[in-house]
Amino acid sequence: MTYRITPPRRLKAHIQLPASKSISNRALMIHALSTDSVLPDNLSDCDDTEVMVRALRDMPAEIDIKAAGTAMRFMTAYLCVTPGEYVLTGTERMKQRPIRILVNALRYLGADITYMGEDGFPPLRIRGRQIAGGHLEIPGSVSSQYISALLLIGPVLRDGLTLRMTGEIVSRPYIDLTLCTMREFGARADWTDVDTITVRPSTYIGKPYMIENDWSASSYWYEMMAFTADSEAETLLEGLMDGSRQGDSVVKYIFSLLGVKTQFASTEAGVPTTVKLKCHPSMLPRLDYDFVNSPDLAQTLVVTCCGMGIPFRFTGLASLRIKETDRIAALKRELGKMGFVLTDEGDDVFVWTGERCEPTGEAIDTYEDHRMAMALAPMAIKLGHVDMNHPEVVSKSYPHFWDDLRKAGFTVERL
């Protein structure tokens, strides 16, 4: 399938954002581990959450979590403490995504896990049982999903969990989001040192819980507003909170540098509200930023800076190499088709000096990566239109993305 995306003459949009996938998947894990559990309200309807819902509801002997990285990490930990024998697998790309550090950590705590294919990668055979827990060290530079998976099962471990992270701790806001969500359900879990989290043995207590909408999804609307450079343009986004625990809420500060201002209808703590985005001139000559705490925003900001002609140097991007695709390599190829020459330095630095090349006019490829599709679609505002192969990948986190673009006045048609 290929879409042609053509922008409206003026952007005026009122959007109900999807529920947060990050919070939904954490709340689902807690729901499965809790007593007297109540399914959370406003669960995400994206693919990554749906596979967790089905797995936790049906608990088949073989669980296929498809391309859902969070589900792979969270379910690996969950199955270790759930009686029974299970095979956990996914797509071919998932079988190339490393999981050795998490498996080694769980084995150290007493889990029974066997690789069914190549060592260090899914699929896994897991025999669930009561495990001891205790003290564990893990590199802080690994995916925060590994750390969150361990923390989420911490309360049900016999001796609880003391988790010390060595070296640089990346994606700390996602770890804090996990802790905050756990405490909402009665867990006793907190930082006890600058590099150590202690989770005491306890019981999760089910309660009604409303999930906030997704700040990561909002980033594509910020990008569109940055591209319009039209003081009359306006976008309203529903269901976000001022003071949100979501790490990607930092998007409002980054885009303020790029001329997009954020207004909250209410600043009451913990209350979802309407956010209004308006455009103002941006005179930023260059953007340097470290994405170590918000890697899911990197693609949006790379494309935004290219579209606005703002050179950049972005760091803290090592985790992008092992996502749904190698996102740095994919961005280089696809933005190259649009006429931008980007370079990478080592595993975690991405640079654009302003160098251009002749656009090829080819359709954009999405690499089975939802964020590639959503980050590149707004370039239609700058280029007149964008043709995109396999646009259906957005269902991984934002199933109604194309419908929302149509509501905002974009023409999205199948070629």
Instruction: List the pLDDT tens digit at each of the 415 positions of the chain.
Output: 999 999 999 999 999 999 999 999 999 999 999 976 678 889 999 999 999 999 999 999 999 999 899 999 999 999 999 999 999 999 998 999 999 999 999 999 999 999 999 999 999 999 999 999 999 999 998 889 999 999 999 999 999 999 999 998 988 999 999 999 999 999 999 999 999 999 999 999 988 889 999 999 999 999 999 999 888 999 999 999 998 999 999 999 999 999 999 999 988 877 889 999 999 988 899 999 999 999 999 999 999 999 999 999 999 988 887 677 889 999 999 999 999 999 999 888 999 999 999 999 999 999 999 999 999 999 999 999 999 999 999 999 999 999 999 999 999 999 9
Determine the straight-line distance between the first and last CA of the chain, rounded to whole angstroms.
Answer: 8
Same domain, 275 and 400: yes
Contact criterion met (CB below 8 Å) for 90 and 72? yes
Same domain, 191 and 330: no
For 286, residues 6+ apart whose C-beta sits below 8 A from its C-beta are 310, 311, 312, 313
Same domain, 226 and 171: no
For 83, residues 6+ apart whose C-beta sits below 8 A from its C-beta are 128, 129
Report the alpha-carbon distance of residue 300 to residue 327 in Å, rounded: 11
Please spell the DSSP secondary structure of 231-243, one letter per residue: TT-EEEEEEE-TT
Contact criterion met (CB below 8 Å) for 125 and 85? yes
Q: What is the dihedral of CA 125, 368, 105, 130, to 10 degrees?
A: -50
Task: Tell me if residue 199 falls in helix, strand or coil.
Answer: strand
Q: What are phi and psi of 81, to 5 degrees?
A: -110, 15
Same domain, 124 and 240: no
Same domain, 369 and 289: yes
Would residue 204 count as lying in a domain?
no
Please spell the DSSP secondary structure of 138-180, one letter per residue: EETTS-HHHHHHHHHHGGGSTT-EEEEEES----HHHHHHHHH
Would residue 276 count as lying in a domain?
yes
296 is catalytic: yes
Report the alpha-carbon distance of residue 408 to residue 17 in Å, rounded: 13
Sign of the torsion angle spanned by Cα atoms 357, 362, 367, 371: positive
Would residue 85 count as lying in a domain?
yes
- Pairing type for strands 161-166 and 189-193 reads unpaired
Report the alpha-carbon distance of residue 266 to residue 275 in Å, rounded: 9
Number of domains in the chain: 2
- Whole-prediction pTM: 0.91
Domain C-terminal end among 199, 229, 252: 199
For residue 322, what pLDDT is reported? Answer: 67
Would residue 354 count as lying in a domain?
yes
Would residue 207 count as lying in a domain?
no
Same domain, 174 and 310: no
Same domain, 157 and 229: no
Domain C-terminal end among 199, 225, 240: 199
Domain C-terminal end among 137, 165, 199: 199
Same domain, 258 and 374: yes
Would residue 77 count as lying in a domain?
yes
Output b/e per residue, 219-240; b: 16+ Cβ within 10 A.
bbbbbbbbbbeeeebbbbbebb
CA-to-CA dists, residue 251 to 54, 124, 215, 297, 314, angstroms: 32, 36, 8, 7, 15
Q: Exposed (0-12), middle (13-18) or buried (19+): which is 19, by Cβ within 10 Å?
A: buried
Read off the pLDDT of residues 279-304 as tens digits, 9 standing for 90 and up. 998 889 999 999 999 999 999 999 99
Determine the Cα angle at 397 with ends 349 and 215, to 5°: 70
Residue type, 391: P
Chain CA centroid to CA 31, Å: 21
Same domain, 240 and 172: no
CATH of the domain at 39: 3.65.10.10
Same domain, 181 and 226: no
Task: Tell me if residue 382 falls in helix, strand or coil.
Answer: helix
Same domain, 161 and 266: no
Same domain, 30 and 11: no
Report the alpha-carbon distance of residue 178 to residue 169 in Å, rounded: 15
Q: Which of 47, 48, 214, 296 is catalytic?
A: 296
Would residue 205 count as lying in a domain?
no
Q: Give me the domain span that covers residue 381.
A: 2-19+212-414
For 132, residues 6+ apart whose C-beta sits below 8 A from its C-beta are 109, 110, 157, 158, 159
Would residue 169 count as lying in a domain?
yes
